[in-house]
Amino acid sequence: MPELFVAKVSELPDGERRIVAHDGLEIGVFCWQGAFYAYQNLCVHQGGPACEGIIMHKVEDVLGPDRTWHGQKFSDEEVHFVCPWHGYEYDLKTGECAADRRLRLKSFDVVRRGEDIYVIA
């Protein structure tokens, strides 16, 4: 399995991503809160570039103890990246499709060697 160079650690700050390609395979590598995550850049919907869109926290309803609705907020924990073609959202930490967790992007291991980040394709 080839090891693909992604970037120097300094070149991939928090909230950024790189797309690396090898032999027709595209992989999106994200840095989020100091950790790296890598997924195939191929949306389960219509095959769009799933890893190339914006990163947004999950939207959550705010409910009261009496089950009344008090508005919405962005999650403190869960963050998604969004396929730019039609908006499918993926859990950044698992690659699962947020709307249906039975669907997920193929994930890849990321290794750090000194200052260099590699993804194992």
Instruction: State the binding string over 3-42 for ligand FES (x if CB under 6 A, else -).
Output: ----------------------------------------
> Is residue 15 a contact residue for other proteins (CB under 8 A)?
yes
Q: On the CB side of 11, how many CA atoms lie within 13 Å of its CA?
A: 11
42 binds, among ligand FES, other proteins, none (CB under 5 to 8 A by kind): other proteins
- Cβ atoms of 117 and 108 within 8 Å: the answer is no
- Running DSSP on this structure, what letter comes out for residue 66? T
Amino acid at 39: Y
Separation between Cα atoms, residue 111 and residue 86, nearest integer Å: 31
What are the tokens at 97?
Answer: 């499709």
86 counts as binding other proteins under rule CB under 8 A: yes
The minimum distance between CB 37 and ligand FES, in angstroms, equals: 18
Q: Which residues bind other proteins (CB under 8 A)?
A: 15, 42, 46-49, 53-57, 59, 74, 79, 82, 84-87, 89
